[in-house]
């Protein structure tokens, strides 16, 4: 089974589990990792499910994931690893505010995504991408926006969790002064998929971790967009840096100048 075929199968299984959990959120049993940053039983159950599937299909490969200590990059991860975000947008999921949460799974080599997928169970969408092969949503090709004027662009931002908020406030304010419209979905994979489909022209968050962006970064680039760190450095998922600027490419340099001016 190819990496992409495995990702499709694993995300379909995880989607079924998340939909079951979402239907009865009275059983979520969530804890706060820190103020306003929560972990639910559903996060753990989804991560366990995907890990079990990975161990069966790829028993000797390294796993990096958000929960249960998997967030520490182990030896061998820089060669090849699988990166899991069991539920991105957990706060949205737990609060039933919007159907804006997702599951992210990617295979990376040398810190760069090779294949990746994002399931958005609340929107019945499955995004898939493989390096050099384009990106799809529900098996239909997707493409970034052609817009090239920031004053008419829709830009997604995020305010991150409280412990990281100081690093996002100033750049968010800068973008808000120049972009035509601003949205804050509270879910990185929603923002990145929105860039890939052309619904957003860009998405920025200074505090993102590898599991937040591994699949989404590949989906954006394979849809014709561009990704980098906020300072313009080339993205490597395991370089220890945080944050991401994703765009349709046409506005990327202008956005970098604003963020670093």
Q: What is the CATH number of the domain that holds 87?
A: 3.30.540.10
Q: Is 37 in the same domain as 108?
A: yes
Q: Summarize pLDDT for 205-256 with one digit per residue, the tens.
A: 998 999 999 999 999 999 999 999 999 999 999 999 988 999 999 999 999 9
172 and 115 both lie in a single domain: no
Is residue 137 a part of any domain in this protein?
A: no
- Note whether 45 and 103 are same-domain residues: yes
Q: Backbone phi, then psi, for 167, in 5-degree steps? A: -85, -10
Model confidence at 12: pLDDT above 80: yes
- Considering the domain architecture, whether residues 44 and 87 belong to the same structural domain is answered as yes
Query: How far is CA 222 from its chain centroid?
Result: 15
Q: Could you give the CA distance from residue 242 to residue 78 in angstroms, rounded to a whole number?
A: 16
pLDDT value for 160: 80
Does residue 85 lie within any of the structural domains? yes
Which is more confident, 131 or 168?
A: 131
Alpha-helix runs per DSSP H in 58-187: 90-95, 166-178
- Whether residues 220 and 127 share a domain: the answer is no
Closest CA to 47 of 81, 78, 88: 88
Q: What is the pLDDT of residue 36?
A: 52
Which one has a higher pLDDT value, 166 or 252?
252
Kindly state whether residue 143 falls inside one of the protein's structural domains. Answer: no
- Listed in sequence order, the residues at least 6 apart from 23 whose beta carbon sits closer than 8 Å to its beta carbon are none
Name the residue among 146, 38, 53 with its Cα closest to residue 101.
38
How many Å apart are CA 116 and CA 89, to the nearest integer?
Answer: 18
Q: In the chain, what percentage of residues exceed pLDDT 70?
A: 95
pLDDT at 35 over 60: no
Within-domain flag for 142: no
Within this chain, do residues 37 and 110 fall inside the same structural domain, yes or no? yes
Reduced to 3 states (helix: H, G, I; strand: E, B; else coil), residue 104 is strand
Q: Is 171 found in the same domain as 60?
A: no
Tell me the average pLDDT across 35-62: 88
Instruction: Kindly calculate the radius of gyration of the chain based on its CA atoms and give it in whole angstroms.
Output: 17
Give the percent of the chain with pLDDT over 90.
74
88: containing domain: 3-132
Domain co-membership, 159 together with 99: no
Mean pLDDT, the chain, rounded, equals 92
pLDDT at 166: 85
Q: Are 169 and 222 in the same domain? A: yes
When pLDDT is averaged across residues 42-52 and rounded to a whole number, the result is 94
User: Is residue 20, in this structure, part of any structural domain at all?
Assistant: yes
pLDDT of residue 39: 79
* pLDDT single digits (tens) 114-139: 999 999 999 999 999 999 999 999 99
Buried b (16+ CB within 10 A) or exposed e, 10-21: bbebbbebbeeb
Q: Residue 31 pLDDT more than 70?
A: no
Residues of 39-54 as b/e, b for ≥16 C-beta within 10 angstroms? bbebbebbbebbbebb
Per-residue pLDDT tens for 65-102?
988 888 888 787 889 999 999 999 988 988 887 789 99
């Amino acid at each position: 089974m190819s990496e992409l075929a495995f990702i499709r199968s694993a995300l379909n299984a995880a989607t079924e589990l998340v939909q079951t959990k979402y239907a009865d959120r009275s059983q979520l049993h969530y804890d706060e990792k820190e103020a306003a940053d929560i972990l639910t039983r559903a996060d753990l159950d989804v991560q366990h499910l995907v890990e079990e599937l990975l161990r069966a299909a790829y028993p000797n490969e390294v796993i990096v994931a958000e929960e249960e200590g998997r967030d520490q990059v182990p030896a061998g991860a820089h060669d090849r690893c699988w990166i899991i975000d069991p539920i991105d947008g957990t706060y949205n999921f737990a609060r039933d505010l919007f159907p804006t949460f997702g599951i992210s799974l990617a295979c990376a080599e040398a810190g760069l995504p090779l294949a990746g997928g994002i399931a958005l169970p609340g929107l019945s969408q499955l995004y898939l991408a493989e390096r050099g092969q384009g990106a799809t949503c529900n098996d239909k090709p997707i493409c970034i926006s052609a817009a090239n004027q920031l004053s008419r662009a829709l830009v997604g931002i995020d305010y991150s969790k409280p412990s990281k908020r100081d690093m996002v406030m100033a750049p968010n304010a800068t973008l808000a002064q120049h972009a035509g419209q601003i949205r804050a979905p509270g879910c990185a994979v929603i923002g990145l998929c929105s860039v890939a489909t052309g619904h957003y022209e860009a998405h920025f968050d200074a505090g993102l971790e590898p599991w937040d962006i591994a699949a989404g970064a590949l989906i954006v680039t394979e849809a014709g967009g561009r990704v980098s760190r906020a300072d313009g450095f080339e993205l490597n998922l395991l370089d220890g840096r945080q944050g991401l600027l994703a765009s349709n490419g046409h506005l990327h340099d202008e956005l970098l100048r604003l963020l670093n001016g």
